[in-house]
Amino acid sequence: MTGTLDQERIADILAPVPAAEERRRERRVREGLWRTVRRAAGRIPFMDEVVAGYFCALDERTPTRVRGTLLAALAYFVLPLDFLPDFILGLGFTDDMSVLLAALGAIRAHIRPAHRTAARDFLEDLARDENPGSGPR
């Protein structure tokens, strides 16, 4: 097991699903994303794009296909057990990163400046919460 997913498996994860499954994914992402972001913040170098993708996925102006791709990748990210469990130190987020990079690469043009601003603000707040006293006074 190499820790990465092959392109076929990634395509399966990101494939369109019925509306009911997409709603379930959205609920799972809304409930678990922030906990997972906190846990993975130092291990995924493009976390700002992941969080911007979250805001893009929840934006009603984002095309349905794009929302579906993002929700699929984010739902995989928040799953407690996936191809390579996240608790395996150093390797656990490797498969998540593969799925997230594929999704973000496919939809990057749909992430608008407002999504990136919301992501930056969230990550700055997160950093302040984890490092009390390190923010502006």
Distance CA 122, CA 69 (A): 22
Residues 80-134: tens digit of each pLDDT: 654 444 444 444 567 788 899 999 999 999 999 999 999 999 999 988 887 655 4
Q: Taking the mean position of all CA atoms in its chain, how far away is CA 60?
A: 18
Distance CA 100, CA 56 (A): 14
pTM (predicted TM-score): 0.81
Residues 119-135: tens digit of each pLDDT: 999 999 988 887 655 44
What crossing angle do the helices spanning 64-78 and 19-40 adopt, rounded to 10°? 50
